[in-house]
């Protein structure tokens, strides 16, 4: 059985003082223990999140990581630092990082392996643009990303790997993929994992959907067989709505 995982990607939102308020609220929420709840604040607030969420079941994730442990990489944060802090998840290959920061599959692949090497769980984001979907190229795009970004990952590691299918046209737009379309792509991703890494890996890997997930559509999305969770931006920035997402059942 795959445990459902609802992760809030705060993106570049919430200053230190604002994060303190939201994390204090999250700390006091009644959350369903059968669901893994994760918050991914900006790096500057990770230590604060670890501190304030101590004693709760809410896990902490980073929004990015470098692939090297240390060195002359101004402005970057290493997977070793994240491990040292007790962070458990790292979002990698988000479409915003691919688009605005020029991250390519090769670099993302290297980060995925580095993060796994530090006992952290990558949340690998993949997804197509609207143009690609309209040209019937969505699956080709996702296949390319999955195969390139996970190349060389050991099949045994897939109990730690999370994949987030985030169609770019659905991010922050209010347009959600229909639950059936999301399920179709998530089932395809599981099939790709089976082809490339074997049946056991495909059974273990958790696949999230992301893109305008809200309290009012989360249950339908989560009812699908191959969707094990959601990666949520906007709707995770407010405690009550975050609680409704985690308690989707």
Tell me the catalytic residues.
94, 166
Of 90 and 213, CB closest to ligand 13P: 213
H or E segment and range at residue 61: strand 59-62
Euclidean distance between the first and the last CA atom of the chain, given in angstroms as a whole number: 16
Of 172 and 198, CB closest to ligand 13P: 172
Comparing CA positions, the residue from 242, 198, 191 lying closest to residue 230 is 242
Measured CA distances, 136 to 31, 95, 132, 140 (Å): 39, 19, 6, 8
We find the least distance from the C-beta atom of residue 1 to ligand 13P, in angstroms, to be 25
We find the least distance from the C-beta atom of residue 12 to ligand 13P, in angstroms, to be 12
Residue 154's SS3 state is coil
**CA gap 152, 167 in Å, rounded:** 25
We find the least distance from the C-beta atom of residue 108 to ligand 13P, in angstroms, to be 15
> Kindly report the CA angle at 220 between 214 and 226, in degrees rounded to 5?
110
Of 35 and 221, CB closest to ligand 13P: 221
Residues that bind ligand 13P (CB under 6 A): 9, 94, 166, 171-172, 210-213, 231-235
In the 8-state DSSP scheme, what is residue 237?
S
We find the least distance from the C-beta atom of residue 238 to ligand 13P, in angstroms, to be 12
Burial class for 100, CB neighbours closer than 10 Å (0-12, 13-18, 19+): exposed
Of 87 and 235, CB closest to ligand 13P: 235
User: Which residue number places its CB atom closest to ligand 13P?
Assistant: 233
């Amino acid at each position: 059985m795959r445990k459902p995982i609802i992760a809030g990607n705060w993106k570049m939102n919430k200053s230190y003082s604002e994060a303190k308020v939201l994390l204090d609220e999250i700390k006091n929420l009644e959350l369903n223990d059968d669901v893994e709840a994760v918050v991914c604040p900006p790096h500057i607030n990770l230590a604060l999140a670890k501190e304030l969420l101590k004693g709760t079941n809410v896990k902490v994730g980073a929004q990015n990581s470098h692939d090297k442990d240390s060195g002359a990489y101004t402005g970057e944060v290493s997977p070793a630092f994240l491990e040292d802090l007790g962070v458990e998840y790292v979002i990698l290959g988000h479409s915003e990082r691919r688009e605005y920061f020029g991250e390519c599959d090769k670099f993302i692949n290297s980060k995925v392996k580095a993060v796994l090497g530090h006992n952290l769980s990558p949340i690998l984001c993949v997804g197509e643009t609207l143009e690609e979907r309209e040209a019937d190229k969505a699956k080709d795009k996702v296949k390319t990303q999955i195969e390139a970004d996970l190349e060389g990952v050991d099949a045994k590691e897939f109990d730690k790997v999370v994949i987030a299918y985030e169609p770019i046209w659905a991010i922050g737009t209010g347009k959600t993929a229909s639950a059936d379309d999301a399920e179709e792509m998530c089932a395809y991703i599981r099939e790709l994992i089976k082809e490339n890494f074997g049946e056991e890996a495909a059974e273990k890997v958790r696949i999230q959907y992301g893109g305008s997930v809200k309290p009012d559509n989360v249950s339908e999305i989560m009812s699908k067989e191959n969707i094990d969770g959601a990666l949520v931006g906007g709707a995770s920035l407010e405690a009550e709505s975050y609680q409704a997402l985690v308690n989707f059942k």
